[in-house]
Amino acid sequence: MADDSEMTMPATTPVLPDVRQIAPDRPVLIAGPTASGKSALALAIAESGGGVIVNADALQVFGGWRILTARPDDSDLARASHALYGHVHYDADYSVGHWLRDVAPYLAGDARPIIVGGTGLYFTALTEGLAEIPPTPPAVRQEADALPLPALIAALDPQTAKRIDLNNRARVQRAWEVLHATGRPLADWQDDTPAPLLPLSQAEAFVFDAPKDWLTPRIEQRFDLMLAGGALEEARAMLPQWNPAHLSSKAIGAPELIAHLRGEMTLADARAAAIVATRQYAKRQRTWFRARMRNWRVIPNLSTG
C-alpha cells in the first residue's frame, strides 16, 4: 500500500509544488513523516518529468512486510520505475551505510533519481556525508541490549549527547556502542565525516510540514486501509518466522498484529496500539526534520476552510 491511499482529506491540505517547474535533470529529495503524502508527490514528479523513484525508508527496504511498511502497490509500480523497495531479506541487517552503497548507482544512472522516504538519517547521510565507523562487535551489541536507556545516556560524552535525540533508544544505543567499540565518541567520528554523495545544493529538496492535528486522522485511516488490504494476513504469513530482534520486525503494527495472532490482545487493542506507535514515530520524524532540514523547501499545510 502506497503512502497515499485513497483517503478523505482532513481540514488542511499540503500546498504541493508545481511539478512542471522542477528541473528534469536534477535529483529530487522528498522527506516527510509517515502518511504525509510523499509517495503521491514522487509519482507526480516521475510522471511529469521522468525519473526513478528510490526508497529512503529504513523499513521499506525489507521484504516480508509490504502492506505494513506501506511499500508501493502494483498500481504504483506500473506508473513509474521504483528501486530499493523490499530488496533486503526480512532477517538481514541493514544500515545507513548499506543504503548509501545501494543508492549510489542511481545517482550516476541515466534516469533522474527521485528519492523519497521518512528516514531522516538516510537523507542526512546522503547530503551531509556519513562517518565511516567500524561495525559494532556482537559482544558490545549484546552488552548494550541489556542496559536500560538511562545507563546508556549516562555513559555518553557531552558532545554526542547534545547531537542526538536522547529519547530515541536506537540512536542512544548506537552512540554508546560506537564509544565502547572504538574508544572514540560518536561526535568525533561525525566531525571526520567525508564529503557527501549528493550535496544539498545539487538537488531539489522538499520536506512535508505535517502538523499533528492534520496527520493523526490520516494515520488512523491508513492503518484501517492496511487492515482491509490484508495486513493481518501478512502478519499471519510472517508468524512462523517472527523474531522481534530482526530489524524488519520494527515495522509499525507488526508486533501488535503478531501479539493479536498469538492471542495476547484483541484486534481492536492491536489497532489502537499500532496507531499510537505510528503517531509517536511521526513525532520523532517531525523533530528530526525540523532540526536537520532547515534548508529544505517546506511543503506547508493551509486550511481549506
Q: How many other CB atoms are found less than 10 A from the CB of residue 127?
A: 22
- All cell numbers assigned to 305: 476552510
Q: How many other CB atoms are found less than 10 A from the CB of residue 199?
A: 12
Q: What is the CATH number of domain 1-130+202-305?
A: 3.40.50.300
pLDDT at 32: 96
CA distances (Å), origin 146, targets 152, 168, 170, 178: 10, 16, 13, 16
- All cell numbers assigned to 173: 544505543
Displacement of CA 129 from its chain's centroid (Å): 18
pLDDT at 20: 81
Reported pTM: 0.83
Tell me if 52 sits within 8 A of 26, measured CB to CB.
no
pLDDT at 5: 38
pLDDT at 132: 83
Query: What is the secondary structure of the chain as a DSSP string?
Result: --TT-S----SEEE----GGGS-TTS-EEEE--TTSSHHHHHHHHHHHH--EEEE--TTTTBSS-TTTTT---HHHHHHSEEESSS-B-TTS---HHHHHHHHHHHHSSSSPEEEEES-HHHHHHHHH----PPPPPHHHHHHHHTS-HHHHHHTS-HHHHHHS-TT-HHHHHHHHHHHHHHSS-HHHHHHT----SS-GGGSEEEEE---HHHHHHHHHHHHHHHHHTTHHHHHHHHGGG--TTSGGGGSTTHHHHHHHHTTSS-HHHHHHHHHHHHHHHHHHHHHHHHHH-TTSEEE-EEE--
pLDDT at 302: 57
Rounded-to-integer distance, Cα 262 and Cα 265, Å: 8
Q: How much is the CA Rg of the chain, to the nearest whole Å?
A: 19
83 Cβ neighbours under 8 A, 6+ residues apart: 52, 53, 54, 55, 106
CA atoms 105, 295, 94, 46: torsion sign = negative
pLDDT in tens, the chain (305 residues): 434 433 344 445 678 888 888 989 999 999 999 999 999 999 999 999 999 999 999 999 999 999 999 999 999 999 999 999 999 999 999 999 999 999 999 999 999 999 999 999 999 999 999 988 888 999 999 999 999 999 999 999 999 999 999 999 989 999 999 999 999 999 999 888 889 999 999 999 999 999 999 999 999 999 999 999 999 999 999 999 999 999 999 999 999 999 999 999 999 999 999 999 999 999 999 999 999 999 999 998 754 33
Tell me if 49 sits within 8 A of 85, measured CB to CB.
no
Q: Which residues of the chain does CATH 3.40.50.300 include?
A: 1-130+202-305
pLDDT at 303: 42
Residue 70 gets the label, from left (phi > 0), alpha (psi -120 to 50) or beta, of: left
Query: What's at 101, amino acid-wise?
Result: R
